[in-house]
Amino acid sequence: MRPMIYLFGDSITEESFSNGGWGASLANHFSRTLDVVLRGYSGYNTRWALKVLDKVFPAPEGGDGGVEPIAVTVFFGANDASIPDRCSSFQHVPLHEYKQNLHSIVSCLKKQWPTTHILLITPPPIDEDARLRDPYVENSMGLAERTNEAAGAYSKACVAVAGECGIPVVDLWTKMQHLPEWRKAHLRDGLHLTETGNRLVFEEVIMTLKDGGVCLETLPADLPLLGDIDPKDPLKAFQ
Amino acid sequence: MRPMIYLFGDSITEESFSNGGWGASLANHFSRTLDVVLRGYSGYNTRWALKVLDKVFPAPEGGDGGVEPIAVTVFFGANDASIPDRCSSFQHVPLHEYKQNLHSIVSCLKKQWPTTHILLITPPPIDEDARLRDPYVENSMGLAERTNEAAGAYSKACVAVAGECGIPVVDLWTKMQHLPEWRKAHLRDGLHLTETGNRLVFEEVIMTLKDGGVCLETLPADLPLLGDIDPKDPLKAFQ
């Protein structure tokens, strides 16, 4: 059976198999080695994620934790960081609770699957002007429902949790802002990712997995690769 | 547990999670309802596929067929149809054996999983001129290693097998050629698919699945959708 990676997160995970998405790129990269399993839930924050954790990753009746994935990406915070008194306030989770929830998610996963690589991803930066232009959000007060400052605070908290748990983290909030034109280059609507933004997430995730020993060089290929099949005696490869 | 769809086939399946690929599009389309599991093996023909079938879909020791997928796409023929005395001859499988092999694959899957929707996909048409320009293939005799005529014969055989087995088929060879500029529109290198070609496969597969009752309208969503969560009392959705 092939090892698998779960992608657990909010809309930025749920839509990660759209054109050029980071999830699809992972599945393509690991096409003969790993199964990439999508568990993205649009709009969810860590409070809701914690409520559904045992449904997302059910422990089978036998008592063990089920098939242990090789890795899980945990990518929440963009909704937690919604500003409390603005139009997405129902998704807001206070910063201290966000930290606590992330800790709980990580420790539940570690308890269920002790050897699984758990990888945190911080929320991306926010382009507030683009949020104000988003026709799907009622920012009627002229104030964006998400701010880059708040996203930064949640991002720092996420990095801190990773440190406290001794697990790797992709600090997307910081990495994306390295590019001067990050607002247009990485963000589609001030929050969700462009193809370039998706590319960055993909590259950071495979680099972080590789640091943990999960890479094409170490994973066995599922069944003989074409290059390893002898054209003069192809069936030998299948004996 | 979410239902799953296996994509079983050759390189056109293996690369189906690349940018705009039909596999990624399926995973995106069914992002909250189904797991799309990639089992693509570049270069494989039905003879090799049959040799590895019990490894690709292992029956667990308990004796039953394991978790029954909701559907399996079986997409072989492009390699079987390689011309016997040209440079890809080691991938060639005679037409009568191709038919027999497809029958065997379908009947093994039906035996293991009696209620799974099995969906055949014919090989795509071939643009021979583009094949001659492919730097990865040694068409030194000036004759393409695959021809559209051969692909058509294997495609017709595939359609016949579907009819004999009473299962649906996507006749890609015919459908792609409906477009006058099919060579450039659907094919990247005379054999593998462009984004437009991938789009056609995606649309045909979801239409065929829908005919079998597998569609967003009938599949339950995994966990409450954001639109079904009451902003005034979000936690009610998770009780």
Looking at residue B62, its pLDDT comes to 67
List the single residue in A with minimal CA-CA distance to B57: A1
The stretch A191-220 carries a mean pLDDT of 98
Q: How confident is the model at residue A142 (pLDDT cuts 50, 70, 90)?
A: confident
Angstrom CA distances, A60 to A6, A65, B63, B99, B131, stand at 17, 6, 18, 41, 50
Looking at residue A183, its pLDDT comes to 97
Q: Which residue has the higher pLDDT, A120 or B67?
A: A120
3-state SS of A166-200 is: CCCEECHHHHHCCCCCHHHHHECCCCCECHHHHHH
Note down the domain range covering A17. Answer: 4-238
pLDDT tens-digit map of A78-92 = 999 999 988 899 999
State how beta strands B71-75 and B35-40 pair.
Answer: unpaired
- Chain A contact set for B222 (CB, 8 A): 39, 41
Residue A62 has pLDDT above 80, yes or no: no
**Residue pairs spanning A and B at CB distance below 8 A:** 103
CA distance A32 to chain B (A): 8
Residue A72 has pLDDT above 90, yes or no: yes
Give the mean pLDDT of chain B: 95
- Tell me which residues of chain B have a pLDDT lower than 70: 61-65
Percent of chain A with pLDDT over 70: 98
> Which residue among A223, A232, A234 places its CB closest to the CB of B55?
A223
The torsion of the CA quartet B130, B133, B139, B145, rounded to 10 degrees, works out to -10
A11 is catalytic: yes
Among the listed residues A77, A67, A104, A49, the one whose alpha carbon sits nearest the alpha carbon of residue A159: A77
Catalytic position from the list A35, A134, A171, A189: A189
pLDDT tens-digit map of B20-77 = 999 999 999 999 999 999 999 999 999 999 999 999 998 876 666 678 999 999 999 9
Give the mean pLDDT of chain A: 95
Looking at residue B179, its pLDDT comes to 95
Looking at residue A63, its pLDDT comes to 63
Asked if B31's CB is within 8 angstroms of A38's CB, the reply is yes
Residue A24 has pLDDT above 80, yes or no: yes
Q: What is the CATH number of the domain that holds A64?
A: 3.40.50.1110
Looking at residue B71, its pLDDT comes to 98
- Chain A contact set for B27 (CB, 8 A): 17, 23-24, 27, 38
- Chain B contact set for A32 (CB, 8 A): 14, 41
Query: In the structure encoding, which two tokens stand for residue B29, read together?
Result: 């389309």
Looking at residue A128, its pLDDT comes to 95
Helical H runs in chain B?
11-14, 22-29, 46-56, 95-112, 128-133, 148-165, 172-176, 182-186, 195-211
Looking at residue A135, its pLDDT comes to 84
Tally the domains of chain B: 1
* ipTM computed for the complex: 0.96
Looking at residue A1, its pLDDT comes to 81
Asked if A31's CB is within 8 angstroms of B15's CB, the reply is yes
Whether the CB of A51 is below 8 Å from some CB of chain B: the reply is yes
> Which residue among A31, A38, A43 places its CB closest to the CB of B38?
A31
Looking at residue A32, its pLDDT comes to 98
Asked if A226's CB is within 8 angstroms of B43's CB, the reply is yes
Q: Which of residues 12-31 of A touch B (CB under 8 A)?
A: 14-15, 17-21, 23-25, 27-28, 31
Residue A207 has pLDDT above 90, yes or no: yes
Looking at residue B134, its pLDDT comes to 87
Q: How confident is the model at residue A136 (pLDDT cuts 50, 70, 90)?
A: confident
Asked if B231's CB is within 8 angstroms of A1's CB, the reply is no
